[in-house]
A and B are shown apart, each in its own frame.
Chain A
Amino acid sequence: MKGYKVKKVFLEDLGVNNPVFIQVLGICSTLAVTNVLKNTVVMSVGLIFVTALSNVTVSWLRNIMPSRIRMMVETLIIASYVIIVDIVLKAYMPEVSRQLGPYVGLIITNCIIMGRAEAFALSNPPGLSFIDGIASGIGYSYVLVVIAIVRELMGSGSIWGYHILGDWWTNWSIMVMAPGAFFTLAIFIWVVKGIMYKREEGRSS
């Protein structure tokens, strides 16, 4: 029973309940960090870490936390974990920290973390909330990675900083700027939802 539930929560966050293309959360960072793949991956790892831990902590406190101040408490918890990520990056991965700059601090404002704390952790036990946090983080990450690959390839002709396309390729500057993310994300959602609807139709008929 429990194993079944874990699997269900995990798979739902990756697919039918995906934070980016179904719940449309975390769009701000989807636009901001996806123009270079490297930044995207580090941002994703940070987000998975923070979502999982804040979910556990919120779930842990859910029975003794007064509901009228729960948002304050959640914000405090999330902010603390993000500060920890920032400090650890500065101390042990200074190069990465330098490249990400202000983006690490911006994890605090990522709606997915607050959204999962409110929608899931408040009504589920810590173990399951942890799984939900990890899965939501991964669900967010793989969408971002796909978008980042498209944007970096078309915008800079490279992937992970390595030039893939030769000199014949003219970089599309617009792909590096925010509009490029809107286009790519919209096309991504279009394709994924199209497939989902097709499947649903197939099932009902």
Chain B
Amino acid sequence: MKKESFAKKRMYPVVFMLLVTVAFISVTTVIYTFTKDTIKLNERLRLKQAVLYAGGTGLSSDPVEIEKAFDDRVEEIKDDSGRVRYYTIREEGTADIESYVVIQTGAGLWGEITAGVGFDRDLDSFRGLEIIDQNETPGLGGRIDEAWFKEQFMGKQPPLSSVPEGDPASENQFQAITGASYSTEAIQNIVNAAREYARTEIQGTE
């Protein structure tokens, strides 16, 4: 076997790897830079949509409508550091508060679940629930993002507990997801924690 020179044997692979790395990182950086703003806008729009949905406004998912409704009717109540504590949604065309929305994060099965939870103005019943971010098992726990599951929270009264899927639920109960007890429990904790938070944060200050 021919003996390879030091440069060919040791240096070439290092230089080659370096060049390939630089080339690919440059390409991904360019693509990232071009799409960065779109991604941010998407995330912001998603949050606005979630607040309006959880607030029980019954708006469609049309982006233009959402932007307009959010600008007209929603106010972000912030603390001193600029963090949003909760959202207030006004009735259309009036100054009366229709509902409050709290963004609540809790532990799910694989990762955190972030949800928007809406309350009526007296905080004594739920206006809606929207899942903003979740990593539950698709097809099982992932079903917390299905419409039938989220819609059932409208008008329910805290504290909530669950009944098996398909069973009739009273005003303090919601239907669990079969095969996803942990995710169901996670949602139960989130909606009840959101209600506690709302009571101290919203009623405590007004």
Using known A-B contacts A33-B138, A36-B139, A177-B179, determine if residue A91 contacts B16 with beta carbons closer than 8 Å. Answer: no
A119 contacts B by Cβ under 8 Å: no
A129 contacts B by Cβ under 8 Å: no
Assess the B24–A80 pair: CB atoms within 8 A: yes
Using known A-B contacts A77-B24, A84-B31, A91-B38, determine if residue A69 contacts B138 with beta carbons closer than 8 Å. Answer: no
Inter-chain contacts of A83 with B (CB < 8 A): 28
Question: Contact partner of B12 among A35, A66, A77, A87, CB < 8 A?
Answer: A66
A99 contacts B by Cβ under 8 Å: yes
Q: What's the Cα separation between A155 and B137 when bound, in Å?
A: 14
Q: How does the 8 Å CB contact mask read for B17-61 relative to A, with 1 for contact and 0 for none?
A: 100110011011001100100110011001000000000000000
B164 contacts A by Cβ under 8 Å: no
Assess the A35–B27 pair: CB atoms within 8 A: no
Q: What's the Cα separation between A94 and B48 when bound, in Å?
A: 14
Residues of A in contact with B, size category = 35 or more
B172 contacts A by Cβ under 8 Å: no
Assess the B20–A61 pair: CB atoms within 8 A: yes
Assess the B42–A90 pair: CB atoms within 8 A: yes
Which residues of chain A in 88-112 are interfacial with respect to chain B, using CB atoms and an 8 Å cutoff?
88, 90-92, 94, 98-99, 101-103
A65 contacts B by Cβ under 8 Å: yes
Using known A-B contacts A66-B12, A69-B13, A73-B17, determine if residue A173 contacts B179 with beta carbons closer than 8 Å. Answer: yes
Assess the A80–B28 pair: CB atoms within 8 A: yes
Q: What's the Cα separation between A61 and B13 when bound, in Å?
A: 13
B135 contacts A by Cβ under 8 Å: yes
B178 contacts A by Cβ under 8 Å: yes
Question: Contact partner of A80 among B12, B27, B133, B139, CB < 8 A?
Answer: B27
Inter-chain contacts of B43 with A (CB < 8 A): 94
B77 contacts A by Cβ under 8 Å: no
Find the B residue at minimum CB distance from A32: B138
Assess the B35–A88 pair: CB atoms within 8 A: yes
Question: Contact partner of A87 among B20, B31, B145, CB < 8 A?
Answer: B31
A68 contacts B by Cβ under 8 Å: yes
Which residues of chain B in 121-166 are interfacial with respect to chain A, using CB atoms and an 8 Å cutoff?
133-135, 137-140, 142, 145
Using known A-B contacts A64-B16, A73-B20, A94-B42, determine if residue A84 contacts B28 with beta carbons closer than 8 Å. Answer: yes
Using known A-B contacts A87-B31, A173-B178, determine if residue A65 contacts B16 with beta carbons closer than 8 Å. Answer: yes
Q: What's the Cα separation between A102 and B38 when bound, in Å?
A: 20
Using known A-B contacts A69-B17, A87-B31, determine if residue A35 contacts B42 with beta carbons closer than 8 Å. Answer: no
Using known A-B contacts A64-B16, A87-B32, determine if residue A155 contacts B38 with beta carbons closer than 8 Å. Answer: no
Find the A residue at minimum CB distance from B15: A66
Q: What's the Cα separation between A36 and B145 when bound, in Å?
A: 14
Assess the A68–B13 pair: CB atoms within 8 A: yes
A17 contacts B by Cβ under 8 Å: no
Output the least CB separation between A182 and chain B (Å). 15
Question: Contact partner of B24 among A64, A65, A76, A171, CB < 8 A?
Answer: A76
Question: Contact partner of A91 among B27, B39, B46, B179, CB < 8 A?
Answer: B39
Q: What's the Cα separation between A203 and B21 when bound, in Å?
A: 50
Q: How does the 8 Å CB contact mask read for B159-188 relative to A, with 1 for contact and 0 for none?
A: 000000000000000000011000000000
Find the B residue at minimum CB distance from A84: B31
A36-B138, A156-B139 given; name 16 further pairs at CB < 8 Å.
Answer: A39-B138, A66-B16, A72-B17, A73-B16, A77-B20, A77-B24, A84-B31, A90-B42, A91-B39, A94-B39, A94-B42, A94-B43, A99-B145, A101-B135, A103-B138, A177-B140
Interface residues of A (CB under 8 A from B): 33, 35-36, 39, 61, 64-66, 68-69, 72-73, 76-77, 80, 83-84, 87-88, 90-92, 94, 98-99, 101-103, 152, 155-156, 171, 173, 176-177
The 3 closest A-B pairs by CB, nearest first: A35-B139, A91-B35, A173-B179
